[in-house]
């Protein structure tokens, strides 16, 4: 039955407000990260206390459970993106992701065997595929590419609180009240998330009711004023660099983003996402076990040790995002990865001892946090710009909705692949060559990534390196 757009729903204006939409997406991402992060510091203790895993197998099973989440997210991201780009609205699949997250949280709470915990992490990965793919597409739909960097930087800095709060809260509550209380917090957050996703109205749906906010009206006035300007003509001419030959194979037309993936800027942007996730997976899987062995930390202290790693996001995330919007992704990404090399190498220095050794460990983690803040926004901003240029130059090729959900699905695949391989490789390397040498290997990856970013990413003039695309070349 067709929707009657002559009768606007209750609260249309505030439900489609930019701030409310961004807040809702932020809450969704926060919930996903919170329920992911709350398990990280307590996984070794759940495996020991509830599943009775031998001590020498805890690192292996910890890495496997972290990898299961990422593997499921990898497999489900692309189907989610393709479906989302074909649907008239993104709200329904965005809501659907919560079903998997609810089931996952329940199983993590009640599961007493390795297979049940693995299933729980798989369901959590499916939910992550939905929230990150559709959530990022909704951000692009809402704010456009011009404000994407500062928006992503701000959101990531705020939702990083979940990375900060979840391990700490998980460690404290688990020790004081057990796993039931830990997951009770998760269920409460899920309820808030569900209500906000339910009442959200997307901009394009609000527009069908004739609603335009003040920001959109200002943009239309600017476009009208610049209609005959030489700058606009120059931008249109520049789109010739992004034309796609029309006689593409049928399988490419069904998944048009494949054509964009030939662009080296887009590939390097995705490599940033992959490397970022490898770093996160490495920290998540090795810090709890390392500090348990090094300092004898319990779940509470292991959770607290994530604070210096995540706290810099709160300060530097929005600043780094704004810097990316103004100067382009090249400098932020290349400096960020280059900077990370130093603290990763220095993490070999702390050894068994008292407060001085713990302080050194925290300082080096805080330095890693600064580097992580610098590399959080460049990938999405660069990838979005490249795909937007292709979309502007070839609107009929990509369809009315554009390829953005597909793009963020690919982005999530690279991120999930990094989260899959990060814990597995870092856990194996830690067992084989030690924690310090493992971090040296990761530092080498960051050094290579820094060079790639400097060579290929766009700077202040993002449109200067556009490439034509013919998939048959």
- Mean pLDDT for the stretch of residues 435-452: 95
Instruction: Decide if pLDDT at 36 tops 70.
Output: yes
Structure confidence at residue 161 (pLDDT): 63
pLDDT band at 112 (very low <50, low <70, confident <90, very high): confident
Structure confidence at residue 413 (pLDDT): 83
Q: What is the pTM of this model?
A: 0.73
Q: Are 107 and 118 in contact (CB under 8 A)?
A: no
> For residues 143 and 329, which has the higher predicted lDDT (pLDDT)?
329
Mean pLDDT of the chain: 79
> For residues 436 and 302, which has the higher predicted lDDT (pLDDT)?
436
Tokens coding 214? 């003040």
Instruction: Decide if pLDDT at 469 tops 70.
Output: no
Q: Are 18 and 215 in contact (CB under 8 A)?
A: yes
What is the distance between the alpha carbons of residues 350 and 298, in angstroms, rounded to a whole number?
18
Q: How many CA atoms lie within 13 A of 283 on its CB side?
A: 29
- Mean pLDDT for the stretch of residues 41-50: 77
What domains can you pick out in the chain, each with its CATH number?
12-210+252-465 (1.20.1250.20)
C-alpha distances in Å from residue 249, one per residue of 78, 358, 471: 20, 59, 9
> For residues 188 and 162, which has the higher predicted lDDT (pLDDT)?
188
- Mean pLDDT for the stretch of residues 146-171: 68
pLDDT band at 238 (very low <50, low <70, confident <90, very high): low
Instruction: Decide if pLDDT at 38 tops 60.
Output: yes
Instruction: Decide if pLDDT at 327 tops 50.
Output: yes
CA angle, residues 224, 230, 235, in degrees to nearest 5: 85
Tokens coding 165? 């709060």
Tell me the DSSP string of 346-378.
HTTS--S-SHHHHHHHHHHHHHHHHHHHHTSSH
Tokens coding 335? 């400096």
> For residues 370 and 165, which has the higher predicted lDDT (pLDDT)?
370
C-alpha distances in Å from residue 429, one per residue of 71, 133, 285, 439: 20, 31, 12, 9
- Mean pLDDT for the stretch of residues 204-213: 77
| Residue-level length of the chain | 473
pLDDT band at 208 (very low <50, low <70, confident <90, very high): confident
Structure confidence at residue 165 (pLDDT): 67
Instruction: Decide if pLDDT at 141 tops 90.
Output: no
CA angle, residues 341, 382, 414, in degrees to nearest 5: 65
Q: How far is the first Cα of the chain from the last one, in angstroms, to the nearest whole number?
A: 46
Q: Are 95 and 440 in contact (CB under 8 A)?
A: no
pLDDT band at 473 (very low <50, low <70, confident <90, very high): very low
Structure confidence at residue 472 (pLDDT): 40
Closest CA to 379 of 271, 467, 263: 271
Closest CA to 271 of 67, 466, 445, 437: 445
Structure confidence at residue 98 (pLDDT): 83
By CB atoms closer than 10 A (0-12, 13-18, 19+), residue 327 is middle
Instruction: Decide if pLDDT at 152 tops 80.
Output: no
Instruction: Decide if pLDDT at 212 tops 70.
Output: no
């Amino acid at each position: 039955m067709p929707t009657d757009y002559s009768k606007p729903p209750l609260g249309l204006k505030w439900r489609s407000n930019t701030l409310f939409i961004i807040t809702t997406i932020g809450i969704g991402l926060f919930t996903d990260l919170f329920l992911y992060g709350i398990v990280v510091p307590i996984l070794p203790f759940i495996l020991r206390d509830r599943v009775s895993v031998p001590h020498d197998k805890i690192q292996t099973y910890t890495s496997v459970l972290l990898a299961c989440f990422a593997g499921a997210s990898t497999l489900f991201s692309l189907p989610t993106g393709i479906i989302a780009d074909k649907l008239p609205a993104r709200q329904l699949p965005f809501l659907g992701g919560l079903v998997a997250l609810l089931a996952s949280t329940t199983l993590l709470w009640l599961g007493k065997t390795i297979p049940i915990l693995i299933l729980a992490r798989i369901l959590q990965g499916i939910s992550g595929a939905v929230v990150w793919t559709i959530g990022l597409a909704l951000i692009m739909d809402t704010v456009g590419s011009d404000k994407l960097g500062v928006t992503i930087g701000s959101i990531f800095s705020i939702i990083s609180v979940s990375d900060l709060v979840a391990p700490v809260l998980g460690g404290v509550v688990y020790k004081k009240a057990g796993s039931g209380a830990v997951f009770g917090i998760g269920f409460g957050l899920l309820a808030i998330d569900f209500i906000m996703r339910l009442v959200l109205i997307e901009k394009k749906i609000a527009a069908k009711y004739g609603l335009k906010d003040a920001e959109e009206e200002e943009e239309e006035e600017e476009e009208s004023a610049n209609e005959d300007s030489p700058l606009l003509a120059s931008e249109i001419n520049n789109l010739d660099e992004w034309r796609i030959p029309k006689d593409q194979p049928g399988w490419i037309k069904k998944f048009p983003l494949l054509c964009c993936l030939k662009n080296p800027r887009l590939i390097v942007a995705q490599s940033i996402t992959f490397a970022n996730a490898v770093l996160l997976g490495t920290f998540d899987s090795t810090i709890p076990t390392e500090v348990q062995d090094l300092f004898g930390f319990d779940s509470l202290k292991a959770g607290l040790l994530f604070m210096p790693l995540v706290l810099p996001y709160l300060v530097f995330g929005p600043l780094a995002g704004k810097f990316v919007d103004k100067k382009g992704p090249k400098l932020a990404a290349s400096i960020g990865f280059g900077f990370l090399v130093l603290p990763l190498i220095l993490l070999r220095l702390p050894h068994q001892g008292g407060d001085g050794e713990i302080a050194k460990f925290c300082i080096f983690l805080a330095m890693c946090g600064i580097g992580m803040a610098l590399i959080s926004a460049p990938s999405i901003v660069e990838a979005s710009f490249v795909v937007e240029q292709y979309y502007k130059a070839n609107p009929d090729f990509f369809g009315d909705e554009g390829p953005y959900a597909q793009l963020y699905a690919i982005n999530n695949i690279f991120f999930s692949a990094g989260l899959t391989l990060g814990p597995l490789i870092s856990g194996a390397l830690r067992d084989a060559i030690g924690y310090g040498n493992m971090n040296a290997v990761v530092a080498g990856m960051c050094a290579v990534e820094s060079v790639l970013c400097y060579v290929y990413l766009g700077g202040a003039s993002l449109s200067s390196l556009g490439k034509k695309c013919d998939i048959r070349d």
